[in-house]
């Protein structure tokens, strides 16, 4: 009989040696806990229409997005679950203007969690795929701990996402490859189904909100035109794939190769405006994709080199197959 697949907690135990020793217990506790919260979120999403959980609460969050009932519920559920672990010194979430400090965690090795509990919320009311994105950073024993989230993406100890699709998938990295798990709904365990994901060197698809073409940097416009121009030898035209939820679009890119892009709005070239948030969207995805052999760029610099100076800072992103992202960067340099 074939061996049963490894569970997330077994895998986390095996990855211990790749994590700085002082942080290994915290990383295992927090990733494991986020997995348990994800199983609860998956159940809630499946029943949301039946429990009057769809739609807006009214009002916008700190980054100006309209807030949905499930955003609020997801935020509260994740916050209390992380608090219970006593391994989380502060949470930097999408739905709060300032970090949520958890001084009861204490200790030099408690970690800072950056997270978007329900990302892609415009898909919620149409039964589309949404996700959870997270990154763990050291608190360095500081109180308040939240400011320790500010820095470059290279300070992330771990990053991951959960995709609530036909199956619930959790993908994470602690800097030693990128690994994917599928939730067994009968047991509530995440089982290793995609060990050591390697992104193809070059893909056949690109994902971008092409309705914004009028506002793109000229290099971005020229690059997408290039992807659409037929040329058998280089595998063009690429096909467009875009779900409107970052997690789903990055997941497809990770497995099949190609590109996911959310470039800045360059309507005012003196002040380009990005949409996606650095700490709990762009930087975690940058680490995950790089650990799978891919690249993540803003078009100008490597995503993991961008230094956050604000909790809800936004950043442009072009991520995916290394050859495709290198080609995009080349168009920005022209
Ligand atoms: P949403 O606004 O629905 O929460 O940052 C959030 C995000 O979704 C990403 O998940 C997604 O990739 C992007 O925004 C979609 O933006 P557009 O609707 O502008 O394409």
> Across residues 27-50, what is the average pLDDT?
96
Residue 19: pLDDT band (50, 70, 90) is very high
Distances (CA, A) of 106 to 12, 27, 41, 323: 23, 15, 28, 44
Query: CA-to-CA distance for 275 and 95, rounded, in angstroms?
Result: 15
Average pLDDT over residues 118-137: 95
Helical spans, DSSP H, in 48-117: 69-85
Measure 243 CA to ligand 1 centroid, in angstroms. Answer: 9
Ligand 1 atom 15: residue of nearest CA:
244
For the chain, list the strands marked E by DSSP. 56-60, 66-68, 88-93, 100-101, 111-119, 130-138, 158-164, 168-173, 179-184, 189-194, 205-207, 239-240, 259-262, 295-297, 317-320
Of 56, 262, 317, the one to substitute when testing ligand 1's pocket (max ligand atoms within 8 A of C-beta) is 262
Atom of ligand 1 nearest to the CA of 247: 10
Write out pLDDT tens, residues 168-227.
Answer: 999 999 999 999 999 999 999 999 999 999 999 999 999 999 999 999 999 999 999 999
Predicted confidence band at 59 (pLDDT cuts at 50, 70, 90)?
confident
CA of 209 to the centre of ligand 1 (A): 9
Question: Closest residue (by CA) to atom 5 of ligand 1?
Answer: 276
**pLDDT digits 0-9 by tens, 232-268:** 999 999 999 999 999 999 999 999 999 999 999 999 9
Q: Name the residue of 63, 243, 275 to mutate for ligand 1: max ligand atoms within 8 A of Cβ.
A: 275
Question: Whose CA is closest to 121, among 308, 281, 320?
Answer: 281
**230 Cα to the center of ligand 1, angstroms:** 29
Closest alpha carbon to 53 in 116, 118, 100, 134:
118
* Structure token pair of residue 186: 């009968």
The pLDDT value recorded for residue 66 is 81
First-to-last CA distance in the chain?
A: 57
Gyration radius from the chain CA atoms: 19
Ligand 1, atom 18, residue with closest C-alpha? 244
- Confidence band, pLDDT 50/70/90 cuts, at residue 2: low
Please, which pLDDT band fits residue 65 given cuts at 50, 70 and 90?
A: confident
| ω into 310 cis (within 30 of 0) | no
> With bands split at pLDDT 50, 70 and 90, how would you rate the model's confidence at 67?
confident
Q: Give dist(CA 149, CA 151) in Å, integer.
A: 6
Q: Residues near 69 by Cβ (< 8 Å), separated by ≥ 6?
A: 53, 54, 55, 56, 57
Instruction: For residues 130 and 159, give the distance between their C-alpha atoms in angstroms, rounded to a whole number.
Output: 17
Q: How far is the CA of 130 from the centre of ligand 1 (A)?
A: 10
Q: What share of the chain is helix, strand, coil (3-state, %, to 5)?
A: 40, 25, 35
What does each C-alpha distance from 113 to 40, 146, 190 come to in angstroms? 19, 9, 21
Protein residues whose CB sits closer than 6 Å to any atom of ligand 1: 65, 119-122, 209, 244-246, 276, 281
CA of 120 to the centre of ligand 1 (A): 5
Q: Are 200 and 253 in contact (CB under 8 A)?
A: no
The tens digit of pLDDT for each residue in 319-329 reads 999 999 999 99
pLDDT given for residue 142 in this prediction:
93
Q: Which of 199, 163, 167 is nearest to 183 (CA)?
A: 167
Q: Which atom number of ligand 1 is nearest to the Cα of residue 131?
A: 10
Residues in the chain: 334
Q: What is the mean pLDDT of the chain?
A: 96
Phi, psi angle pair for 231, to nearest 5°: -160, 100
């Amino acid at each position: 009989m074939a061996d049963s697949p490894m569970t997330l907690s077994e895998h986390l135990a095996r990855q211990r040696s790749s994590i700085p020793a002082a942080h290994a217990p915290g990383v295992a506790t927090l990733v494991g806990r986020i997995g348990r919260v994800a199983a609860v979120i998956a159940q809630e999403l499946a029943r949301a229409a039946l429990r009057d959980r769809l739609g807006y609460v009214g009002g916008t969050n700190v980054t100006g997005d309209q807030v949905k009932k499930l955003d609020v519920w997801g935020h509260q559920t994740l916050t209390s679950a992380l608090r219970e672990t006593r391994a989380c010194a502060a949470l930097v979430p999408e739905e709060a203007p300032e970090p949520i400090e958890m001084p009861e965690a204490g200790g030099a090795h408690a970690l800072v969690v950056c997270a978007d509990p329900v990302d892609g919320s415009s898909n919620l009311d149409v039964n589309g795929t949404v996700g959870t994105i997270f990154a763990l950073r050291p608190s360095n024993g500081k109180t308040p701990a939240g400011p320790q989230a500010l820095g470059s993406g290279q300070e992330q100890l771990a990053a991951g996402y959960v995709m609530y699709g036909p199956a619930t998938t959790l993908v994470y990295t602690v800097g030693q490859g990128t690994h994917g798990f599928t939730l067994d709904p009968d047991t509530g365990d995440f089982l290793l189904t995609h060990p050591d994901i390697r992104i193809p060197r070059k893909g056949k698809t690109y994902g971008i909100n092409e309705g914004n073409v009028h506002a793109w940097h000229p290099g971005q416009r020229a690059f997408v035109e290039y992807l659409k121009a037929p040329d058998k030898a280089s595998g063009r035209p690429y096909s467009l794939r875009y779900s409107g939820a970052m997690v789903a679009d990055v997941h497809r890119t990770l497995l099949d190769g190609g590109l996911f892009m959310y470039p800045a709005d360059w309507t005012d070239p003196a002040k380009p405006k990005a949409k996606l948030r650095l700490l709990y969207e762009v930087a975690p995805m940058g680490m995950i994709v790089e650990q799978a052999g891919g690249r993540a760029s803003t078009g100008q610099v490597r995503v993991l080199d961008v230094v956050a100076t604000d909790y809800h800072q936004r950043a442009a992103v072009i991520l995916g197959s290394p050859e495709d992202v290198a080609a995009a960067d080349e168009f920005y340099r022209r």
